[in-house]
Amino acid sequence: MKNIKLSLITLMTLGTLAYAGGDLTVVTPYEEEDIKLAEEVYVEPEPAPEPEATIVEKQPTPEPVIAPKPLEHIKANGFYAGLGISASRYKTNCNCPNSPKVGTDKSAGIMARVGYDFNKYIGIEARGIKTNWKSDGGRVQHAGLFVKPMLPVGDATNIYGLVGVAKTKTKGHLQTTNTNSLAVGAGVEVDLSKDTPKEGRYNRPFDGQGDQEKGLGLFADYERMVAKSGAPDLDAISAGITYDF
């Protein structure tokens, strides 16, 4: 009877605990070992590192691209013209009995020249001389076409030669001359302008030497108007102003 009462008390206690929400699950020693092992193995993960801030370098502002200015086509003009005075010497060397007078005459007049320089070493020139002021009745008319070799000396001086064919006539009391013959000469040109190349493309190399560029210049030369055996001595010294186009 005593055992029956003890059993009833036990059942009532267990029912009360169950009704109150108690956990009546029996934990075995094996389960305790598994729980302990799981706690030892589990490692709490470390928090993920925060992403580093990205540093953006400031790029330099590109400079605007400027299109190059087209080169100007520059035509170097080799034409020139000049005007000056000329002093001539007319000396007859003919001992002809029919000659009215033998001697020397000096006269003065004007001369003109026009030409074209192909480059700084060679050109072509046409020139004419006419004397009006006479001392002994000998007037001279002279016109010719010449090849003009040149040699620049520095940036302002040009030495040149003259080789060509000319027509020469004289009038007066001395021995008269009317002939086509070889004529030769030599001279010097001095450039008064400042030769500076322009920005552009030249149709020939810019030389900037001698008397080759646009502007005023001076010239002086000597010419043997008749280079012919047996002819009177006809010489001329001329000087004047030249303009290069």
User: What does pTM read for this prediction?
Assistant: 0.63
Residue 110 in domain: yes
> Which residue segment(s) compose the domain that 212 sits in?
72-244
> What is the domain count for the chain?
1
Output the CA angle 237-138-103, nearest 5 degrees: 90
Which two tokens mark 62? 């590109």
In this model, does residue 101 exceed pLDDT 60? no
Is residue 162 classed as helix, strand or coil in its secondary structure?
A: strand
In this model, does residue 3 exceed pLDDT 90? no
Q: What pLDDT is attached to residue 34? A: 59
Residue 45 in domain: no
How far is the C-alpha of 80 from the C-alpha of 127, rounded, in Å?
12
Q: Give the mean model confidence (pLDDT) for residues 78-91.
A: 90
Lowest-confidence region among 17-21, 84-88, 223-227: 17-21
In this model, does residue 29 exceed pLDDT 60? no
How far is the C-alpha of 58 from the C-alpha of 86, rounded, in Å?
79
Residue 79 in domain: yes
Q: Give the mean model confidence (pLDDT) for residues 16-34.
A: 52
Q: Tell me which residue of 184, 125, 119, 115 sits closest to 152, measured CA to CA.
A: 119
- Average pLDDT of the chain? 76
Q: What pLDDT is attached to residue 185? A: 96
Q: What pLDDT is attached to residue 239? A: 96
If one compares 139 and 145, the residue with the highest pLDDT of the two is 145
Residue 145 exposed, middle or buried by CB count within 10 Å (0-12, 13-18, 19+): middle
Residue 59 in domain: no
pLDDT digits (tens, 9 = 90+) for 176-218: 778 889 999 999 999 887 766 666 676 666 555 555 567 889 9
Q: Which DSSP state fits 131?
A: E
Instruction: Using pLDDT thresholds of 50, 70 and 90, give the confidence band for residue 22.
Output: very low
Q: Give the mean model confidence (pLDDT) for residues 110-125.
A: 92
Buried b (16+ CB within 10 A) or exposed e, 68-96: eeeeeeeebebebebebebbbbbbbeeee
Looking at the chain, how many residues does it have? 245
Instruction: Using pLDDT thresholds of 50, 70 and 90, give the confidence band for residue 86.
Output: very high
Q: Give the mean model confidence (pLDDT) for residues 23-37.
A: 55
Q: What's the CATH number where 139 sits?
A: 2.40.160.20
Lowest-confidence region among 20-34, 146-160, 168-182: 20-34
How far is the C-alpha of 170 from the C-alpha of 176, rounded, in Å?
5
Residue 1 in domain: no
Q: What pLDDT is attached to residue 36? A: 62
Is residue 6 classed as helix, strand or coil in its secondary structure?
A: helix
Q: What pLDDT is attached to residue 240? A: 96
In this model, does residue 97 exceed pLDDT 60? no
pLDDT digits (tens, 9 = 90+) for 32-63: 665 665 555 555 666 666 666 566 677 777 77
Q: Give the mean model confidence (pLDDT) for residues 138-150.
A: 91
In this model, does residue 24 exceed pLDDT 50? no
Residue 214 in domain: yes
Residue 223 in domain: yes
Residue 5 in domain: no
